[in-house]
Amino acid sequence: MKAWAKEFVDANPAPGICIPWAVKRKELDNLLGDEAIVQRVWENIEGFAYTYIWHCLVSF
């Protein structure tokens, strides 16, 4: 198993999450500003992505 896949599986994402914040945060080494704002925006975008994927699966 690739390292990124193992990290994702170990994070055990909740339903509605494609890439958990804990995994994405490790990619952002030099995060400037308020981390809570970035996390909130990331989680909102994640919710949209999850909804879009399900919409495509169910609609077609």
Using CA atoms, how far apart are residues 20 and 43, in angstroms rounded to an integer? 8
Q: Say which amino acid occupies 60.
A: F
Mean pLDDT of each 10-residue bin along the chain, 60 residues long:
68 78 87 93 88 88
Using CA atoms, how far apart are residues 14 and 39, in angstroms rounded to an integer? 15
pLDDT of residue 1: 64
pLDDT of residue 17: 81
Three-class HEC string of 34-59: CHHHHHHHHHHHHHHHHHHHHHHHHH
DSSP state, residue 60: -
